[in-house]
A and B are shown apart, each in its own frame.
Chain A
Amino acid sequence: MEIGLNHYLILSTILFAIGLIGVMRRKNLLLLFFATEILLNSVNIAFAAISHFYGDLTGQMFAFFVIAIAASEVAVGLGLLIVWHKRHGTIDLDTMSTMRG
């Protein structure tokens, strides 16, 4: 069986769903970051696949942008996470409720 565009897109959708469920269910901040990474990378897969399908490099270029931004996001996020852990000794999401209205 030839592996075509649809397979990639289905993989991308499955990964996106996994990431989305992770974002909703995870209580650990670190794992939340993982879930976000899965979300971003599912989109990257879709970009790369579609770009290859049309023979247009713009999609792959976008994928690189996303990777770059994801990397910087993780760098900032991890820094904040460490500071938070030093202050409170925990990275459980349920303890972060200073924004309560």
Chain B
Amino acid sequence: MELYLYLALFAPLAGSLFAALFGASPKTIVAGLVPSILLFVSFVSSTILLVHILSGGAVVHVEMMTWMATGDLYIPFGFVVDQVSVTMMMVVTVVSTVVHFYSVGYMDHDKGFNRFFSYLSAFVFSMMVLVMSDNFAGLFIGWEGVGLCSWLLIGFWYHKESATWAANEAFIMNRIADLGMLIGIFLVYWNTGTLQYEQAFAAMPALEADILTLMGIFLFIGAMGKSAQFPLHTWLADAMEGPTPVSALIHAATMVTAGVYLVVRANPLYDLIPHVGIFIASLGAFVALFAASMALVNRDMKRIIAYSTLSQLGYMFVAAGLGAYWVALFHLMAHAFFKALLFLGAGNVMHAMHDELDPFKMGGLKKAMKWTFIMMTVASVALAGIYPLAGFFSKDLILEVAMIEHHYIIYSVLLFTAGLTAFYSFRLVALIFHGEERYKLFGVHPHEAYKFMLIAMSPLLILAVIAGSFKMTYFEMVTAVLPATEYHVHSALAYWIMTIGTQLFVIAAIAFAYKKYARSGITVPDGTSKMENRLCYKILSNQYYIPYVYEEYLVKPYRELSTVFWKQIDMKVVDATVDGIAGIIYGTGEKTRDMQSGNLSTMLKWMVAGTVGLLSLAVVFGLAVRYSVEIKAILSGLGV
């Protein structure tokens, strides 16, 4: 089994390095195909490992080599394939294989074709390191690796000012959170003396509650950055500047869920500090509603889906915070499939519409793009949580968890958000695919994506439909390592009322979205309609003015402060000191240059002067040694 572990881990790296060889050369189809095929190899290996674990096989744990061993510190490059990491491996490899094959078509006309695949495969490798590591240090390497690849890929079209800005924003926001994460890891090491998951978690119950709380909070700050939770959420929407396959893979299915994975992985810690768990759950519920509300009015197709991702991450944190780790992981998996599908569909639409993002300028695309229409509709139905698609099983479960744990406020927030989710998803679908063909006004001739791109997407379509049926198999598998709490509403009647009520609510939201946006006579909003001038619309479409507040009250003062430091401290103190030292040395050289006149007699005079100087020093020193006792007596007499 070790062979498969190494194959799954290193095949993406090999693909990345291979594509990097062609980094500077013009588009070569090999540079796209080889990494994709290697990822398929990784996927097959992960599947073999999954089958091994499912059939009751032992957890695969390898120690590749020692990384650091000094004193008491011992950190190996160790990898573990247990029930949790194999789930993540499957999610990562399935989605990334699909996205790789899809990208061969999507990036067809891009100049950076080879570079793109090199970055994308490097991302998958980092993500595999993140999920497979058996210690916090390895997790952190993967964590930083995915951050780096995310930066490279958001800023992939680096000639665009907005793309580089978004890339830097994402990177800096994550850096802030990573500081918290690092402090958390340090706390773990200080208090348990190890970074290996097993030993660290085993040592935790003996620690004081305060320390555990601090650990939990700091680790969660790291998770908040990666998973874009409030108040570090602004980067995710801006990250949509990157190519769409990147949004599908990194900013929907895998990297942003790393925060959830961290909380799930650290479940023995969070079980000991339920009050932090409540905080996580409350924040998650808040973000779910907050992000969904911003998606309601946004007019950028990709941003709408990004807010929806944010909202779904909120759901996952609710489940993880309430101790239902397996539910969180289950929703993570289901969400990865249908959200990646939704993004890839949006990519097809963007291609057809020549990179137009405003759904108000589309409409009626279902004729031209039948398959994309079907896929995006299915993905949206799954996202809305309609029976029997994936979202129904996982999202309903989170609602039930909130109900059973008696957090009724969280439950109502999540229920309301489920309605919003359905509304904005179908607002998007209705605007893009139904109604009048408004794109004709803009002289666009949409066409369906390449056939192989659609075929590449089909595994996600199937998984979005059937992922819910894995629920019990999945439950039996992961509860070998996660707390096995089954969530059942006590009375059957209550269960049916809840489920059917939720379903009706969601269907009503969908119907309302269709009624409002699938009709004919929709025009491109120009800022004059009554709705657009309402206060709440303005607040929502400006994202609660949070980016504005950050810019005005954090970025600008910081820039001012930096200017002051630059001009006053850097230039006048640091630079002046360094320049002064250089100036002194230079001046001394300039002045003593005359000594090297080349005149032998002058040199001899200097030599004599030197000899006399050294001799006198020797005499003085000799005298000092000889009369040292007397000198000491005199000095002590002077009171020195």
- A101 and B593 in contact (CB under 8 A), knowing A20-B608, A24-B608? yes
Q: Indicate with 1 or 0, residue by residue over A59-101, a CB within 8 angstroms of chain B CB atoms.
A: 0000000000000000000000000000000000110111111
Given A20-B608, A23-B608: A100 touches B596 (CB 8 Å cut-off): yes
Q: How far is the CA of A17 from the CA of B593 in the complex (A)?
A: 29
B604 and A23 within 8 A (CB): yes
Chain B residues within an 8 Å CB radius of A23: 604, 608
Bound together, the chains give a CA A101 to CA B591 distance in angstroms of: 12
Per the 8 Å Cβ criterion, residues 565-624 of B in contact with A are: 593, 595-601, 604-605, 608
Q: Are B593 and A93 in contact (CB under 8 A)?
A: no
The verdict on A97 contacting B597 (CB below 8 Å), with A20-B608, A23-B608, A24-B608 known, is yes
The residue from A20, A24, A26, A97 contacting B599, defined by CB atoms under 8 A apart: A97
Q: A1-60: which have CB < 8 Å to B?
A: 20, 23-24, 26-27
Question: Is there an interface contact between B604 and A101, defined as CB atoms closer than 8 Å?
Answer: no
Pick from A20, A93, A98, A101: contact of B601, CB under 8 Å: A93
Chain A residues contacting B598 (CB-CB under 8 Å) are 96-101
A99 to B588: give the CA distance in the assembly, Å.
20
Q: How far is the CB of A15 from chain B (nearest CB, A)?
A: 15
A93 to B593, CA, bound (A): 20
- Find the A residue at minimum CB distance from B594: A101
Q: For B595, B598, B601, B604, which residue has the most chain A Cβ atoms within 10 angstroms?
A: B601
B426 vs chain A, min Cβ distance (A): 86
Q: In the complex, how many residues of chain B place their beta carbon closer than 8 angstroms to a beta carbon of chain A?
A: 11
Residue on A nearest B593 in the bound complex, by CB:
A101
Residue of A nearest to B607 (CB): A23
Q: Which residues of B contact A94 (CB under 8 A)?
A: 599, 601
State the CA gap A23–B598 with chains docked (Å). Answer: 16
Cβ of B597 and Cβ of A27 under 8 Å apart? no
B595 — nearest CB in chain A belongs to which residue? A101
* Contact (Cβ within 8 A) B596 A24: no
CA distance in complex: A20, B609 (Å): 10
Residues of A within 8 A of B604 (CB): 23-24
Query: Using Cβ atoms and an 8 Å threshold, which residues of chain A touch B600?
Result: 93, 96
- If A20-B608, A24-B604 touch, does A101 touch B596 (CB 8 Å cutoff)? yes
Contacting residues, chain B, for A27 (C-beta < 8 A): 601
Q: Which residues of A contact B597 (CB under 8 A)?
A: 97, 100-101
Interface centre among B595, B596, B598, B605 (most CB of A within 10 A): B598
Complex Cα gap A76–B34 (Å): 77
- In the bound complex, residues from chain A placing their C-beta under 8 Å from that of B608 are 20, 23-24
Question: Across the interface, which residues of A come within 8 angstroms of B601, CB to CB?
Answer: 24, 26-27, 93-94
**Chain B residue at smallest Cβ distance from A35:** B604
State the Cβ distance, B402 to closest chain A Cβ, in Å. Answer: 85
Complex: A15 Cα to B605 Cα, angstroms: 18
> Across the two chains, which residue of chain A brings its CB closest to B612?
A20
In the bound complex, how far is the Cα of B595 from the Cα of A99, in angstroms?
A: 11
Bound: A100/B595 CA distance, A: 9
The answer for the CA separation of A26 and B601 in the assembled complex, in Å, is: 8
A100 contacts across to B, CB distance below 8 A: 596-599
Residues from chain B with a CB closer than 8 A to the CB of A26 are 601
Give, as a whole number of angstroms, the nearest-CB distance from B532 to chain A. Answer: 80
Chain A residue at minimum C-beta to C-beta distance from B611: A20
Per the bound structure, the CA–CA distance linking A101 and B590 in Å amounts to: 11
- 18 CB contacts below 8 A, A to B, read A24-B601, A24-B608, A26-B601, A93-B601, A94-B599, A94-B601, A96-B599, A97-B597, A97-B599, A99-B596, A100-B597, A100-B598, A100-B599, A101-B593, A101-B595, A101-B596, A101-B597, A101-B598
Q: Which 3 A-B residue pairings sit nearest by Cβ, starting from the closest? A: A101-B596, A100-B598, A97-B598
A-to-B contact residues, CB < 8 Å: 20, 23-24, 26-27, 93-94, 96-101
The residues of B with any CB-CB pair to A shorter than 8 Å are: 593, 595-601, 604-605, 608
